[in-house]
Amino acid sequence: MYIQKIILTYKSSIRFRVGFAVLIVSIGLLIILLNAFNLLDFPGEIKSIISISGTLVSSVCAFPIKEIVDRRNQIRLINELSIQHKNSSGEDKKRLEELIWKFIEKNVVG
């Protein structure tokens, strides 16, 4: 139950980051397209700078994507350990439970 709560928290974080990444990429693309179709009222000399700016804005999506990847890996590992915990018994089960919490404490909380 606790594990599921933790995974839900991570999934919520991933959703937020995906939303943020999509928003950033969309803004960057919008700038590039508006500039390409001359819908922005800028002098001709600045057009290439505006295009580069659009690309820079889009590239900011690298920050949330990196964190999304990290969290997905953590969810995968926690799930793996949980499955093994379910399938084990006795002393092994207790050790696995300790291992899961230690992993969470070390890798997630820091």
Partner 1 sequence: MASNNNNLINKIEVEEKRARKRMLTYASVPLLLTIILVIISYMVINNAGEEVKELKHEKSELEANIKQLNTSIGLKSDSIAEMKKVMELALNYSDKRYEFNYSVDKELYSRYPRQTEMLSEIRAMIRAGEVKWKLGGSSPEDGFDSPSFASFMINRHSAITVEAANRYQLRDALPKTETPRVGDIVFYEHGYAMFYFEYRNKPFVIGMTPLGLASLTYDFGPKRLGFGRVSY
- Which residues make up the interface to partner 1 (CB under 8 A)? 2, 5-6, 9-10, 12-13, 16-17, 20, 24, 42-43, 45-46, 49-50, 53, 56-57, 59-60, 63-64, 67, 101, 104-105, 108-110
For partner 1, the closer of residues 2 and 37 by Cβ is 2
Burial class (CB in 10 A: 0-12, 13-18, 19+), 70: middle
For partner 1, the closer of residues 48 and 87 by Cβ is 48
The answer to whether the beta carbons of residues 54 and 35 sit under 8 Å apart is yes
d(CA 92, CA 82): 12
Tell the smallest beta-carbon distance from residue 40 to partner 1 (Å). 11
Which pair of structure tokens corresponds to residue 89? Answer: 């018994």
Tell the smallest beta-carbon distance from residue 34 to partner 1 (Å). 13
Tell the smallest beta-carbon distance from residue 95 to partner 1 (Å). 15
